């Protein structure tokens, strides 16, 4: 099988490439080496892979790259919250327009194979919550005055009772709370429309908090595990937002790469899949695992600071991916994060 991987020189994309090559696939990579993520061409690229360092929006060059491919793993995107709302055009340009250009070219060459798009848990906004009186509820965005007062937990919009966070499933409503999240959901919508009109089989892989080797460091777009790891490397304490009790699901990048191999299997299922471990972890615990695994006596610092675009709790059930894709995470978050404290960042 010949597979196109967009963003295949990046953190997740490069691991997807490795997994596909190991699975016996012929791989073509398209990557623009976006300066926000790459200072130079990475040294971990595989000599057996056909790399095209072009922009997705260069449709003529892209048409040459997609010729003859049987499947596509679409990883290319700007990630993270960014520095300010001034980043909005860059996110939309790279994520939405880049995806549109890819789909346009795939349509022009008559592609009807498997398309796996890298989505994210951020499309859910807040996770799933249950009120003891009103059952499952959808809390509104947290208010700045409450956040400034250190009131981080959510309450029922009907009775103001404390809410219990629960694992979210793929049928939950989507409610993106920041620009990056909005672009990831739009990528899903564009790919779904492409599948309906062309007959291509589309799978949206909703990654949770991915960590592992080759993560970029010291950029505004790095994930929280990378930010904590970079602080430790510099001899500084990890700075934990809010009170550190916010819950996420941390999944190793090799498990994410394996999910793409599973998603691209011929005649496989379509739709959205949570790519998560099912073992959620509070952010402060993540910081402590990393500090305890690192040399020195540095301790995390809980700052009470917050970001408007952040949500309180979001973690997911990976049951559908296990049942329909035959995939499950193999790396336990505690063990994986402990090893990550020693892994090289990009």
Tens place of pLDDT for every residue, the chain, 346 residues?
999 999 999 999 999 999 999 999 999 999 998 877 777 789 899 999 999 999 999 999 999 999 999 999 999 998 876 667 888 999 999 999 999 999 999 999 999 999 999 999 999 999 999 999 999 999 988 999 999 999 999 999 999 999 999 999 999 999 998 999 999 999 999 999 999 999 999 999 999 999 999 988 766 556 889 899 989 988 999 999 999 999 999 999 999 999 999 999 988 999 999 999 999 999 999 999 999 998 778 999 999 999 887 899 999 999 999 999 999 999 999 999 999 988 877 7
Residue written as tokens 């997911």? 316
Summarize pLDDT for 24-64 with one digit per residue, the tens.
999 999 999 887 777 778 989 999 999 999 999 999 999 99
Summarize pLDDT for 308-328 with one digit per residue, the tens.
878 999 999 999 999 999 999
- Whether the full predicted model's pTM is greater than 0.75, yes or no, is yes
């Amino acid at each position: 099988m010949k597979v196109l991987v967009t963003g295949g020189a990046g953190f997740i994309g490069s691991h997807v490439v490795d997994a596909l090559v190991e699975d016996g696939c012929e791989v073509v990579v398209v990557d623009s080496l976006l300066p926000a993520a790459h200072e130079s061409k990475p040294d971990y690229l595989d000599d057996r892979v056909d790399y095209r360092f072009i922009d997705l929006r260069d449709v003529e060059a892209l048409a040459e790259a997609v010729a003859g491919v049987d499947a596509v793993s679409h990883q290319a995107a700007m990630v993270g919250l960014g520095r300010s709302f001034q980043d909005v055009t860059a996110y939309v340009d790279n994520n939405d327009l880049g995806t549109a250009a890819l789909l346009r070219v795939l349509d022009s060459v008559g592609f009807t194979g498997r398309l796996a798009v890298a989505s994210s848990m951020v499309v859910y906004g807040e996770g799933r919550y249950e009120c003891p009186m009103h059952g499952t509820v959808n809390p509104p965005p947290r208010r700045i005055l409450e956040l400034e007062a250190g009131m981080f937990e959510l309450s029922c919009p009907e009775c103001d009772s404390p809410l219990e966070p629960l694992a979210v499933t793929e049928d939950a409503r989507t409610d993106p709370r920041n620009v990056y999240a909005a672009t990831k959901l739009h990528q899903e919508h564009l790919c779904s429309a492409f599948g309906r009109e062309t007959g291509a089989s589309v799978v949206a892989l909703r990654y949770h908090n991915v960590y592992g080797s080759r993560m970029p460091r010291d950029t505004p777009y790095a994930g929280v595990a990378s930010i904590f790891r970079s602080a430790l490397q510099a001899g500084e304490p990890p700075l934990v937002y809010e009170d550190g009790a916010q819950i996420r699901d941390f999944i190793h990048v090799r498990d994410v790469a394996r999910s793409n191999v599973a998603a691209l299997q011929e005649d496989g299922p379509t739709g959205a899949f949570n790519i998560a471990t099912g073992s959620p972890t509070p952010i402060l615990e993540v910081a402590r695992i990393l500090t305890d695994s690192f040399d020195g006596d540095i301790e995390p610092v809980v700052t009470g600071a917050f970001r408007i675009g952040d949500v309180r709790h979001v973690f997911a059930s990976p049951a559908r991916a296990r049942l329909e894709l035959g995939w499950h995470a193999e790396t336990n978050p505690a063990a994986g994060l402990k090893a990550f404290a020693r892994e090289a960042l990009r």
